[in-house]
Amino acid sequence: MEKANIDWKNVGFGYYKTDKRFVANYKDGKWEEGQLTSDDKIVLSESAGVLQYAQTCFEGMKAYTTVDGHVVIFRPDLNAQRMYDTAKRLEMPPYPVDKFIEAVEQVVKANLKYVPPYGTGATLYLRPFMFGSSPVLGVKPAEEYQFRIFGSPVGPYFKVDAKPITLKVSDFDRAAPKGTGHVKAGLNYAMSLHAIVTAHNEGYNENLYLDAKTRTKVEETGGANFFFVTKDKKVITPKSESILPSITRRSLMYVAKEYLGLETEEREIRLDELKDFSECGLCGTAAVISPVGKIVDHGKEICFPDSLDAIGPISKKLYDTLTGIQFGRIEAPKGWIRVIE
């Protein structure tokens, strides 16, 4: 397969229009078969549910070229199920899990020339999404929907040349206790935009959001979950009903325990405990593992001694093992890797 003429080593995390995308419409109470199209434009009613009441949700996943030249995707069943759960929470018609996986495969196959070659560090990001397409005026769910998937070649989400990032403890909340923080609703990201622009303007890479009820516990950032390494080398991650159940985080906790023999724990983590931890990292499809050196809480610096200047030793092992599995250098647990080509 001849590859597109792209400077693979220098691609950032942005939208790049690829050849084909998948589209399926929901009408009269059912999903149509759906198909690939070259048309990247969408024409909508001015009163479409997505435009008036933000009825939209999405997923994020990646296709990788492995060391032996295959193209694979990572745990697509979990993305399919999470989008199913998100749709239900938003009163949208869930897209069937098996059809979701088939559609992802079609998009990857139709855009193989945009799957970055092995060794470049880049991947093909896949963005399944769904939105209310029919008009609404009263506050209610739309009657018609569109499900789409496009792909875009991407490089690292945080461009800091492997230097650990610095976060700000945000004064804004990301998710309400019984709200939508645990699903991938577009509205969660809309409400984070002011917080992220504020953090960037102040020189931070991202925000740490606290739990909205007590503002004492660590939740997540706008686009990734946290993990921390304690002084006795335990890998811990926040437990909360208002954070997104990250597929990367769930995979990392498994890798930590089963591949690296580390102790792991998912539990509530208080902001005032962070000073005792030795490493901090963000994890997610886009973020992969991004080391965090410092978190600033209203002028007070919380430094992670083992990830202050470079990725920490445990985070590095986690990174190497997870990406080793994704790029086919390390044997994957059964069912984690789906070979497309």
DSSP state, 16? Answer: -
Q: What is the DSSP string of 175-230?
A: --TTSSTTS-BHHHHHTTHHHHHHHHHTT-SEEEPBPTTTS-BB---SS-EEEEE-
State which of residues 34, 284, 291, 328 lies at the interface with ligand COI (CB under 6 A): 284
220, interface contact from ligand COI, ligand PLP, none, CB < 5-8 Å by kind = ligand PLP
For the segment 57-96, give every residue that binds ligand COI (CB under 6 A).
60
What amino acid is encoded at 224 in this protein?
Answer: A
Task: For residue 66, give the nearest of 328, 338, 335 by alpha carbon.
Answer: 328
Question: Which of ligand PLP, ligand COI, none does residue 247 bind to, with CB < 5 to 8 Å depending on kind?
Answer: ligand PLP
Q: Does 248 bind ligand PLP (CB under 6 A)?
A: yes
Q: Helix H segments across 9-143?
A: 49-53, 76-89, 97-110
Which tokens is 51 given? Answer: 């435009």
61 close to 285: Cβ distance less than 8 angstroms: yes
CB-nearer residue toward ligand COI: 302 or 318: 318
Pick one of 111, 133, 192, 285: the residue that binds ligand COI (CB under 6 A).
285
Q: Give whichever of 151 and 223 is closer to ligand PLP, judged by the CB atom.
A: 223
d(CA 70, CA 68): 6
The active-site residue, picked from 20, 62, 168, 184, is 184
Q: DSSP letters of 249-274? A: HHHHHHIIIIIT---EEEE--BGGGG
Q: For residue 7, which phi and psi values (nearest 5 degrees)?
A: -80, 80
Q: Which two tokens stand for residue 251?
A: 């995979």
To ligand PLP, the closest distance from the beta carbon of 182 in angstroms equals: 10
With residue 37 as reference, give the H or E element that holds it: strand 35-37
Nearer to ligand COI, 15 or 305 (CB): 15
Residues numbered 203 to 222 that lie near ligand PLP (CB under 6 A) are 220
| CB closer to ligand COI out of 42 and 193 | 193
Q: How far apart are CA 206 and CA 221, in angstroms?
A: 7
Q: Contact with ligand COI (CB under 6 A): which of 155, 164, 223, 281? A: 223
Q: Which stretch binds ligand PLP (CB under 6 A): 121-129, 208-216, 244-252, 301-309?
A: 244-252
Look at residue 225 and give the partner it binds from ligand COI, ligand PLP, none, a contact being a CB closer than 5 to 8 Å depending on partner kind. ligand PLP
Q: Is 286 in the site for ligand COI (CB under 6 A)?
A: yes
Active site residue 178: no
Nearer CB in complex with ligand PLP: 164/284: 284
Sites of contact with ligand PLP (CB under 6 A): 60, 220, 223-225, 244, 246-249, 284-285
Sites of contact with ligand COI (CB under 6 A): 60, 223, 284-286
Q: What residues are labeled active site?
A: 184
